[in-house]
Structures are given as structure tokens and as C-alpha cells.
Copies of this chain bind each other. A is one copy, B any other.
Amino acid sequence: MAVHKFSLADAPLERSPGQDGDVFAGNVLDQRHGGPVTIGFGRYGPSQTLEETMAVHDTMVILEGRITVSDNHGSVTADPGEIIAMQKGDKVTIRSHENGAVTAYVTYPHWQQPDA
């Protein structure tokens, strides 16, 4: 597999599984490509909240806006250029602020199952 470059425009943004808010994710590299990690972009509308038990390790780089992630140990808030790392098994609440957010993510292993 060669070197790849990806932009937000390459991501087929879809509503995140299991929620009906204004939170969208789109993979640009995943289990279909044979590598070990999934890479993608996320887009959050203003003041959205997502509760999740992490099925995979997820590294999120904030590109625009602001994201706060809380768990039972406390909470962290990240601005553009900062990283939030969540571990498999973490029970988290992910929240965007008034201006929404754009993120890049890398998960290990893949968070989606291969198509049947």
C-alpha cells in the first residue's frame, strides 16, 4: 500500500452509529485497506453530546472548535492542535461546544466490522 493523503472532503461523513444527534464520522482508511488502524474525520455540530463505551483505542486530534471528554476520573477539554486519547473500555461522554468541532481520528483496532 502506498503513501496516502486525506482531507476532510475525502471522508464519507455519516451519522455516528447509535445516536441521532448532529455528530458525523467518516473513515478514509479502514479494514477494507488491509492496514491495522482506521483513520477518519469527525464533524460535531454545536453543543452535541455522545455517550460511549469505547470499543477500540481512539486518538482524536482537534482540527476546529473544541471537544470535552469526561469519564469517571474527570474531564479534559481540547482545542485545535491538541489530542485526546481514549482507551478501549473507557466509558466516556464526548461533548462539543458552541462552535461545534472537526476532528481527525485514528483507532486501533478497526471500529467497524468488515462488510459481510
B-contacting residues of A (Cβ < 8 Å)? 1-8, 28-29, 35-37, 39, 57, 59, 61, 63-64, 69-71, 73-78, 80-87, 90, 92, 102, 104, 106, 108
Assuming the contacts A39-B59, A85-B29, A108-B36, asked whether A71 and B7 have C-beta atoms less than 8 A apart, the reply is no
Q: Which of B57, B75, B78, B104 contacts A37 (CB 8 A)?
A: B57
A61 touching B104, Cβ below 8 Å: yes
- A-B residue pairs in contact (CB < 8 Å), sample of 30: A1-B87, A2-B71, A2-B74, A2-B87, A2-B90, A3-B69, A3-B73, A3-B87, A3-B92, A4-B84, A4-B85, A5-B77, A5-B78, A5-B82, A5-B84, A6-B83, A6-B84, A6-B85, A7-B82, A7-B83, A8-B81, A29-B85, A37-B37, A37-B59, A39-B85, A61-B63, A61-B104, A63-B81, A64-B81, A81-B104
Please state the number of chain copies in the assembly.
2
Taking the nearest CB of chain B, how far is it from the CB of A37, in angstroms? 5
Interface residues of A, dominant DSSP: strand
Q: A40: nearest residue on chain B (CB-CB)? A: B83
Taking the nearest CB of chain B, how far is it from the CB of A50, in angstroms? 13
